[in-house]
Amino acid sequence: MEIDEAAAGFMALGQATRLELMRDLLAAGPSGLPAGGIAARLGVPASTLSFHLRTLEEAGLVAATRHGRSLVYAAQVARLRGLIAFLAEACCGGDPARCGDLHRLFDTARETAGMEKPVFNVLFLCTRNSARSIMGEAILNRIGEGRFRAFSAGSAPSEDGPLPQVLSQLKALGHDVSALRSKSWDEFIGPGAPRIDFVIALCDTLAGQVCPDFGGTTVTAAWPLPDPAKFTGSAPEQATLLNELYAALHRRLGIFTSLPFASLDRMALKARMDELADPHALAR
Confidence at residue 215, expressed as pLDDT on a 0 to 100 scale: 66
pLDDT at 119: 86
The Cα diameter of the chain in Å comes to 75
Strand partners, 75: 62
DSSP 154: B
233 touches 239 (CB < 8 A): no
Q: How many CB atoms lie within 10 A of CB 241?
A: 16
Q: What pLDDT does 283 receive? A: 55
Asked if CATH classification 1.10.10.10 holds for the domain at 3-114, the reply, yes or no, is yes
Nearest to 273 by CA among 98, 194, 258: 258
Q: Which residues pair with 66 in a beta bridge?
A: 71
Residues 6+ apart with CB under 8 A from 77: 26, 262, 263, 265
CA geometry: angle 71, 75, 80, nearest 5 deg: 150
Question: What pLDDT is attached to residue 141?
Answer: 95
Beta-bridge partner residues of 230? none
Which amino acid type is present at position 130? S
The arrangement of secondary structure in 120-283, i.e. its CATH architecture, is: 3-Layer(aba) Sandwich (3.40)
The reported pLDDT for the residue numbered 210 is 61
Distance CA 246, CA 227 (A): 12
pLDDT at 113: 43
| Predicted pLDDT of residue 104 | 57
> Coil, helix or strand for 149?
strand
pLDDT number for residue 143: 94
Instruction: Show me where the domains of the chain are located.
Output: 3-114, 120-283
- What confidence score (pLDDT) does residue 112 get? 43
Separation in Å, CA 78 to CA 30, 74, 94: 12, 12, 21
Residue-level pLDDT, tens digit, the chain, 284 residues: 688 888 888 899 999 999 999 998 888 877 778 888 888 888 888 889 899 999 998 888 988 876 656 678 888 887 888 887 777 666 666 565 566 555 555 554 444 444 455 689 999 999 999 999 999 999 999 999 889 999 999 989 999 999 999 999 999 999 999 999 999 999 998 778 888 989 999 986 554 556 676 766 688 899 999 999 888 889 889 899 999 999 999 999 999 999 988 777 777 888 899 999 887 655 55
Let me know: does 128 contact 158? Beta carbons within 8 Å: yes
Q: Classify 64 as helix, strand or coil.
A: strand
Burial of residue 114, with CB atoms counted within 10 A of its CB: 0-12 exposed, 13-18 middle, 19 or more buried: exposed
